[in-house]
Structure formats: structure tokens, C-alpha cells
Chains A and B, each alone.
Chain A
């Protein structure tokens, strides 16, 4: 099943050149890597996919729902119900516990809440898969290491089984050994029958871990 479908997508910031994106899609169970030099529009593309930036030209469809003409509230809902987002760093609210941070993933989505019978045990299950103990989950986010924080962000993104996991260079702050372990744990935690991954990374060693690599070209500004 196609989760994300992008066709003829272009975006132009005021006073700058238009960024044109290649057509591509992400299907269930597929792991897609997005690469490109700085200024190629990776962040713009992710902001368009998450529905934060409005679609100007072309189309984005998530689970066959087009972003064109959708209200901002509707896009917020799509993001809450069907996307899990992992940032490069600073993924967590520092004063909340790891468990509370993870739980934020389903706070704004009734759809995702329906997929969970018991939130605490689901967080604990995912935590176990990702190597986080109960002590880690009870700790304040600010007291965890960067790697542990990234794992909590993965739990948050996966909780309630959203169809599309978007990760923006989640391994950039990790050493090569931790990067491998992190990617292993992320892919192990995925439900390959329903979920797809779209990840941005500069790390060439990751290419072979993905089903498909989409390259963005630098755009003159």
C-alpha cells in the first residue's frame, strides 16, 4: 500500500529560486533514505510532508488524502494520526520524564490512542526493544544521554503505529557503533506490514540499509 505519494512538487520562498522535488512514494514496510547537499531542500521537503508548509505546486498525498485544499487543522490532524517525527537532536521536553515524552506521541491523536490497549505497557515494550529500562523511562529527559533521548524519540514516533515515520538525521549526534545499533533497533521496532520510513541522512554508510535512496540536488538561490 502506498503511504506517501509526491508528484510535481515545487516550493518557492519569497525572493528565492524555486526548489523542485523529484516524484517519489513510500509504501508500507519500505525504508527510504533522502540524501542531498545542504540547501537541496531536505528540510523544506520534510516540512511540506508534515503539512507545516503549504503545498504551492504539485501534490502530496498521504494515505490517498491530498494536501491540496486541506485546511491547516486537517493537516495537523493528518500529522498527529499518521506520522511519527524524529528530530536530529533535542527531541524531548527536558523537564518531562522519558515516559511522559514518549506518551506525547499519542496525546493529540485519538486514532493512535485506539491502537494502544495500555499506554504504559506499550511504552515499556518499545523501551525494551530499544534497550531502555524502566529506570530510564522514569528519568527526566534532561538526565538521559543523547542516544537514550533518541531512543525515547523513536518510542514517541512509533507509539500508536502511525503509517509514516519521518526521521531528520537522527543519528548525526551518534558515533558509528551507536548509529548501527540505533538503526537496527528502529527497524526492528517497525511494523513492516503497515509502516514506512522516510529518513534524511548525510551518512553514506547508511545507504545500504535502506530499500531506496532519493537524491536531492542543490538548488541555486
Chain B
């Protein structure tokens, strides 16, 4: 019966292809929204691991996580180093890594930090940042590159570069009075670290010595570094600090204490909680899209029913011939259902193919925009369930015409 069903579908190629296209398009829409959302969510949640708290100026938790962890947006305020040092001395704290943001290099965010960053910040669960080449910065003029920066700009160990004051490509002014040399390149991680340029806090402080209110006041060219006072390169403020705790039991008490820190308005956020908050907002939009995609699938299925019903009259003769050679009404009903099954399976296979291409194409813009490399499987279990459900719905929707065929074949004579 399947051979007959396929031959019948081939004979009605145009309407069948149109129904398959409609069903495929709606499936692609439904699954790609879900796939990209999940891949992005995974990419985000895997980007910052091992960090229990992010401490920054008092602001929204999502905002703090987005600009520190994902380089999205810009900090509105800084926190003083005095506060950071005071917090680091609390007994609950295992480690604390300050980070200062603001500069860039050819569109890539500069993270000024300490070498502890490479020791404590992890990704994708518990994977440490590893060096593909070289070593962490040790001197004022040394810089470490994320894998993507090195690859994109063609930099290798020993390459000399300037940093740009401010974020964004082509904006701001170049710190061309101080050259940094690449001493290390990180292994690819699929996180925003790949698109970052890392320098030491002291080096970062140095290139800003001659700057006031975003403008250069004097150049470092004529400056003798040996003449600088001992604390001249200790930053006065930083953007935020990543914190690891000895035990997570006291995390909420610590957050409350920091929120009430009397010396400065600071806040502490748990990255995972802030991201969950972000996804609950994104999830609402996602659900609206999914609902609309679901409606499109329903419309495509109605198209399938319509095509089958409108074709029934034209196929009366085929059915009479099959009845004459011994096909039962059940055979004829199953013929109609097999056609729907074939359409459902073909649409699902086509949708998987298109989906793979769509997600591969979406991967690059996601990496560009968010710095994450989404991990995309060919077919997840939830996608398999969705596709099976649509195939089943197609079969169900063919029940009506199948019943009509069944009843008609019982009522209609072979010879008239």
C-alpha cells in the first residue's frame, strides 16, 4: 500500500509539494526558535562557571552579569579598590578577582584583571581556561588574547598592539603611547573569553595615567616609569569583581551584607540566578513565537486535510479499481493515512535538513553578537518528540478523509 501511496503522491506532485513546503517551513520555524534559544541559553550558562558571585556597583543583576560576563552594554559606575580589598578579606571569601572594563582593541573588549583570572574563572561546567600558546601576562606591557581575537586578527606571540580608549571599533582614541606585546593565547572556549583581550590591572592603570575625563592630558612617551610613586599603578577603581566562596552555605547572608555595605553602594549577584531571570523574560517572547509556530503547523495540517478532501472525488475511480481487485475499505482508508504519514515524514526530514542549515548560519551571528559558540546537536530528544507529534497529528488529521473514503467505498458499487 505504501508503494501505491507514494505513486499517488508523485502523481499529485504540485499540491503535495506545497503542503510539504508549508509543513516544513512551520516545523523549521518552531524548532529553530527552540533550538537557537536553548543553544544560546546553554552558551550563556556555560560561559561563567566557578564564579559564585559577581560584585559590582549597585545596579540590576542581569545588567551586571551581561556587561561583566558577556561584554554587552557598558558599566555605569565603578567600585573602589578599597571596597574590593575589604570584601576580599571577609572570611567567607576563597578568592576574588577584580576586573576593569572600558577599553578595546579593534572591536574586542579589553579585560584588565590579575593572573588569578586564568586560575579561577572556568567555563562549561568545570573546565579551566588553558593556554594554547605562551603564558599569562607578567609584566606591565604584556597581553593575553582570546582564541578568536588571535585567529581573526592573525596575531601570534610577540605581536605588538595598542589598546583603544573606550569600547567599540573605531571609537575613542588610541593609547598609542604604550605598546603591549602578546605573551599568551588562550585555547578556544566558545565563550566571550575568546573575543577578549586580557591585560594586567597595573598595565591598564598605566595607560590611563595621562587621561582625564576621556581625553589624553599627557603622553607616556616622556614618562620615566622608575620615577612613578609605588602605588601609582594600583587602580583606584575597578568595574567589578568575580568571587569564589569557601562554602556556598552563607552566600545569601553575604549578599545581604554586601547590599548593606556602609562605605559604598555595591551589590552582589549570583550569575546563574541573574541568567535564569534573563531567560524567564526571554522565555515569554519565546513562548509567543512557539505559539505562533504551533498555529502555523495547525494551518499546514488543515492544508493537508483540504488537499486530501478535494482530491477524493478525482480519486473515486482509483478506489473503485482497488476495490475490484480485492482492496477492503480498510485498505483504502489506510492508503489515505499512509499518504499523510509520508507527507509528515518527508516534511520532518526536510525540516531537519533546513534546520541544520539555519542553525549553522545562525551560529556565526550568535558568536559575533554574544561571543558564545552554541553547541548544536543534529536532533535532540525534544525535537524528535516534536517531529513525532507533528507526524502523529498529520496521521490524525487524515482520519477524517480516511473515514470518508471508508464509508464511500462501502456505499458505492463497483459497477454502475
Contact = CB atoms under 8 A, between A and B. Distances in A.
Contacts of B329: 72
Contacts of B410: 72
A85 B414 contact: yes
Nearest to B12: A95
Interface string A38-81: 00000110110010110000000000000000001100110111
B11 interface: yes
The 10 A-B pairs with the shortest beta carbon distances in the complex, nearest first, are A80-B326, A95-B11, A108-B326, A47-B413, A85-B324, A46-B415, A76-B328, A168-B415, A43-B415, A104-B325
Given A72-B329, A80-B326, A90-B317, 11 more contacts: A44-B413, A46-B414, A50-B324, A52-B413, A73-B328, A76-B326, A79-B326, A85-B415, A95-B10, A95-B11, A168-B415
Contacts of B328: 72-73, 76, 108
A191 to B, nearest CB: 19
Interface of A: 43-44, 46-47, 50, 52-53, 72-73, 76-77, 79-81, 85, 87, 90-96, 100, 104-105, 107-109, 156, 166, 168
Given A47-B413, A50-B414, A85-B414, A91 B321 contact: yes
B368 to A, nearest CB: 50
B135 interface: no
A91 B415 CA distance: 11
A87 B415 contact: yes
Interface string B305-349: 000000000000110111111111101000000000000000000
A52 B414 contact: yes
B414 A96 contact: no
B416 interface: yes
Contacts of A73: 328
Interface of B: 7-8, 10-11, 317-318, 320-329, 331, 410, 412-416
A94 B11 contact: yes
Contacts, number: 69
Contacts of B413: 43-44, 47, 52-53
A87 B416 CA distance: 9
A108 B325 contact: yes
A168 B414 CA distance: 10
Contact of A108 (B8, B10, B318, B331): B331
A73 B414 CA distance: 16
A91 B325 CA distance: 11
Contacts of B318: 93
B11 A85 contact: no
B326 A109 contact: yes
Per DSSP, chain B at the interface is helix
Nearest to B409: A52
Contacts of B317: 90
Contacts of B324: 50, 79, 85, 87
Contacts of A105: 325
Nearest to A48: B413
A202 to B, nearest CB: 14
Contacts of A109: 325-326
A156 B326 CA distance: 12
Contacts of B331: 108
Given A46-B415, A93-B318, A52 B10 contact: no
Given A95-B7, A96-B7, A104 B414 contact: no
12 contacts: A50-B414, A50-B415, A52-B414, A72-B328, A76-B328, A93-B318, A95-B11, A100-B7, A104-B321, A105-B325, A107-B325, A166-B415
A85 B325 contact: yes
Nearest to B330: A73
A46 to B, nearest CB: 4
B415 A81 contact: no
Nearest to B416: A43
Contacts of B322: 104
Contacts of B325: 80, 85, 104-105, 107-109, 156
A7 to B, nearest CB: 21
B392 to A, nearest CB: 27
Contacts of B323: 52, 76
A95 B7 CA distance: 7
Contacts of A91: 321
Contacts of A156: 325
A109 B324 CA distance: 12
Nearest to A100: B7
Contact of A47 (B7, B321, B414): B414
A37 to B, nearest CB: 16
Given A90-B317, A93-B321, A108 B327 contact: yes
